[in-house]
Structure 1
Amino acid sequence: MRVPGRGRAREDPGMTDTAAHDERMAGDDRRGGIRARRLAAHRGARRVFARFGFHRTLRERLALLDGAADVYDLDELSDVYGDGVVEALETKVAGLLGTEAAAFFPTGTMAQQVALRCWAGRTGDRTVALHALSHPEVHERNALSEVGGLRTVRVTSEPRLPTAAEVRDFEEPFGALMLELPLRDAGYVLPSWEELTEVVEAARERDAVVHFDGARLWESTTALGHSLDEIAGLADSVYVSFYKSLEAFGGAAVAGPAELVEEAKAWRHRYGGQVFQQFPTALSALVGLERELPRLPEYVAHARVVAAALREGFAAAGVPWARVHPEVPHTHDFQVWLPYEADVLAEAAVRAAEETGDVLFGYAWESSGPGLACTDVHVRSAGLEWTAEDVRTAVADFVARLPGEVSG
């Protein structure tokens, strides 16, 4: 049986191109189209914790650009192969992260492959040390080795970030240490600021460069207690995503020293990422930085309210064992674990959403062993409408739809 925080394949907005996702969707179909029902209930619901872009129609998504004139001069010429608005976005990101430069990429998978490949050329060591639950290890079809020619070694598989001792005492040499902040598959967890600085120093002692997988770095400032530029300043390079929290159409960036970024742009071309025009995505990213980035601390704070209410609700409903992980969320995303089969929880969640209009659990439940399942909870602007009492009431309704006896 896996314990809370252990890795698993999960339905996650934007992470839908893996074999695990294909298998999971086929499983949903075999269970009577539960995913289709879940998405329909989510779209028609009066109250949800988050409404992501993939929940919206094309017309609704295009409306994101209605305010684009507030973030960029729309009378400027359109971009061609990465100039214009794309360069403006790159400059904006470098300024926010306090780096010399940044390079826009169409995907985060490409961005990180390129960054780590560039560092391998500089260090002369193609070995990348990372966590066993890190995104390249779990969700990218071994791209670092199959495409980039890199070799990965796993510093730890524990449901937390690596410790300084684990990095310092690791038995094999490596040229780069990649740290995912937060570590998504362990429960969107972060280290403390002190732990993070110690891990970085341990890597420096081994003459290794440090790269941050910061796909969700934007929302990490609250838990780490430091600004974006202070966090990014610990690393030699940083990758950030524009759609996971900023709600852009897509895209990513690698930020770091100007010389590294220039080489990254050359590899971007070789990898097929030098797209002719990218102004819709670049504009949507600028809109996200303007509108969503300032609100992320508010979402994190409310996620902690929701998490506490979930714990209280399950305790009041008499569920013999329930886990919110982390107990106090580090970001606006966290996990919920319950002692039931995934199919039972999925059906109860969908029926509750269909019949009440309140979506307590809007994402797939994944089995983590006999009689144990887990789901993710994402809190964004829509989630601010929920009070703690609303959450507790929804939990009571949800539990009432579960069988009287649980596994165990």
Structure 2
Amino acid sequence: MYKGILLGHPLMSECNKFLTRHKPLSHRQWIERIEQSSVLDQQVDFFGTGPTVELLEQKIASILGKERALFVHKGMVGQHSALLHWSSLSNFKTIAIHPQSHMEVDEELAYKELLGLEAVMFGKPDNAIDDTDIKKLPKDLSAICVELPTRRAGFKLPTWQSLNNLKQFSIENSIPLHIDGARLFEAACHYKKPYEEVAALGDSVYISLYKTLGAAAGGIIAGNSDFIEQLKPWRSRLGGDLFTAFPYVLTALWGIENYLPRISEFHERALKLSNLIQQVFGPQAIPYPVQCNGFLVELPIEADKLERRALALAKTDKIWLFDRIVNTGDKSCRFEIQVGDALDDWQDQELIEVLTNILR
């Protein structure tokens, strides 16, 4: 099957205009961003402790309305720590996840091969979980995990009512609910709810620091104080105590100040741009309703042909369009647009012209 992963292609570093996510930075630009930090003169963190790490954790905990938060250098470390903690408190070693969740699709089945956990799939492919899926959930679970949004299902989000029904199920059956909220900020924008109201549904919550917030890397796990304290040994056991993580921490603090206030702007741009794409290329061009700043576009061209033309454009015009192209068969393919500051360099009509030309 055609995989079409282009992120990191050598031509990408030669481009100066990008379509999706935030603009990629050079080493020098990362250093310049770090130099803008208001806490640059603070003591450097060591092994997960230090004033800047504590500041970041406090800020995110406050934003999410949780008692405490814990910095992790990688989302897998944080989420696996949470799963191991919840399973240690349970007689069961089975988690419930969506069949297209990040844990199932993108982590080489680490929950099974490394953590020794089994998984029950809940939810249907290319759909968000709904009340029917919740009713089918077994009760012998160590944790329920819900990804907001489910990226591989087309950035799908459950209804707000279904999320509350899932929370009620977890309470009634004493099953911890973990929110894989890598893109929780965008999800909250769709629900028109404060971040803390969405986060309140989870007994534990993960957010990414490098996606919407544009940090160099890293993530946060948030919950009550007792949970966070018990999570620290699991983080250490999974190799999460970096000698120092200041580039991640300082760029995350920069993102809170500069990207977080723009979430609703990115959301509105996604709605506007996707509507224009549908008007020009037809309703099939946007296969799923757009609910957050990320969405799929489908065009009537073979994946390998689109890749060749995109790379040719990158070489001649220094424009980078796609990070990944997925073959959907029948002479069509899909790619993602995740609205970030890269789109600051584009007018919507300009992008339409580029896509139109690349199809010819």
**TM-score, normalised relative to structure 1:** 0.81
User: Deviations 1:217-256 (Å, cap 9, x if unpaired)?
Assistant: 1222211110110000011110111001111011111100
Quick one: distance in 2 between partners of 1:183 and 1:115?
19
Identity of aligned residues (%): 29
Match of 1:202 among 165, 169, 172: 169
Asked if 2 retains the 8 angstrom alpha-carbon contact of 1:309 and 1:391, the reply is no
Partner of 1:65: 34
1:114 matches 2:74: no
Partner of 1:386: 346
Give the Å deviation of 1:396: 2.5
- State the SS of the aligned residue for 2:36: helix
- State the SS of the aligned residue for 2:70: strand
Partner of 1:406: none
Asked if 1 retains the 8 angstrom alpha-carbon contact of 2:207 and 2:220, the reply is yes
* CA-atom RMSD in angstroms: 2.3
Give the Å deviation of 1:133: 0.4
Higher relative contact order (CA 8 A, sep 6+): 2
Give the Å deviation of 1:44: 3.2
Partner of 1:242: 209
Partner of 1:404: none
Asked if 2 retains the 8 angstrom alpha-carbon contact of 1:175 and 1:207, the reply is no
Quick one: distance in 1 between partners of 2:164 and 2:313?
45
- Range with greater deviation from structure 2 (201-210 or 85-94): 201-210
Quick one: distance in 1 between partners of 2:6 and 2:132?
32
**Structure 2 CA distance for partners of 1:177 and 1:50, relative to 1, 3 Å:** closer
**Structure 2 matches for 1:33-48, cutoff 5 A?**
35-37=9-11, 39-40=12-13, 43-45=15-17, 48=19
Asked if 2 retains the 8 angstrom alpha-carbon contact of 1:192 and 1:223, the reply is no
Instruction: In structure 2, give the amino acid aligned to 1:378.
Output: Q
- Range with greater deviation from structure 2 (279-288 or 339-348): 339-348
Quick one: distance in 2 between partners of 1:228 and 1:174?
27
Partner of 2:359: 399
Quick one: distance in 2 between partners of 1:278 and 1:352?
37
Moved over 6 A (4+): none
Counting matched residue pairs gives 359
- State the SS of the aligned residue for 1:68: coil
1:254 matches 2:221: yes
Asked if 1 retains the 8 angstrom alpha-carbon contact of 2:278 and 2:285, the reply is yes
Give the Å deviation of 1:338: 2.4
> Unpaired segments of 5 or more residues in structure 1?
2-7, 17-34, 316-320, 401-408
Asked if 2 retains the 8 angstrom alpha-carbon contact of 1:145 and 1:151, the reply is yes
Instruction: In structure 2, give the amino acid aligned to 1:324.
Output: I
Quick one: distance in 2 between partners of 1:61 and 1:388?
28
> Unpaired segments of 5 or more residues in structure 2?
none
Give the Å deviation of 1:12: 8.3
**TM-score, normalised relative to structure 2:** 0.92
1:93 matches 2:65: no
1:185 matches 2:145: no
Asked if 1 retains the 8 angstrom alpha-carbon contact of 2:148 and 2:180, the reply is yes
Instruction: In structure 2, give the amino acid aligned to 1:61.
Output: W
Partner of 2:197: 230
Asked if 2 retains the 8 angstrom alpha-carbon contact of 1:191 and 1:224, the reply is no
